[in-house]
Structure 1
């Protein structure tokens, strides 16, 4: 049963892709900087191999998913592990809305366009965290 004193943040794994790096940075912004007392970060690899702490996170708290691409693997993993997605921020929607192109951006050294995408995605995700906490 979900309680609303915290929100579980589930970034996309996106290993080897810039999308995963961006969603992870957004997750860190939310958990480490903006809402350290009210969020927990779900680790996709840990959840995939049934680490109990991450299973508990998705069962105890409302889940905000940060999906990086059309595959929406973060959502799929939450559902596969028996969790429920309460809210989602979808990076391609942010890129389209803000007219940001990630062409030529590298995941190893994030450029200005990636940093702008992180900022905008963090803003959208932050509003959703506030809504989930205030239910």
Structure 2
């Protein structure tokens, strides 16, 4: 079975609670998956649920960046001061078979850089039946 794109999680870690940032990102269309304590402070995790861009990592990241760019002053300050801001791109695969590629367009990379975020790729092993 081929490698399949699953989703993108936006993960934010900070030394202080992320409630206000979560509210604003939720209002901007981001689904809050988790908002609570972590080993190093506080962690919030988000997804974008949009049927039109569901299979397009580039479109999902642009939606996240649009939400980040719409933040108010207080939430943006928390975003800028966060210890970690990561777009975690998730894939699912059986054990390796051939070559898999997935590209992020330069304009998407530019938006990620302007938001001050990092990119992480996670490949989950598909359960065998």
Q: TM-score range by the shorter chain?
A: 0.3 to 0.5
- The structure with the greater share of residues assigned to helix is 1
TM-score (ref. length: structure 1): 0.33
- Relative to total residues, which structure has the larger strand share, 1 or 2? 2
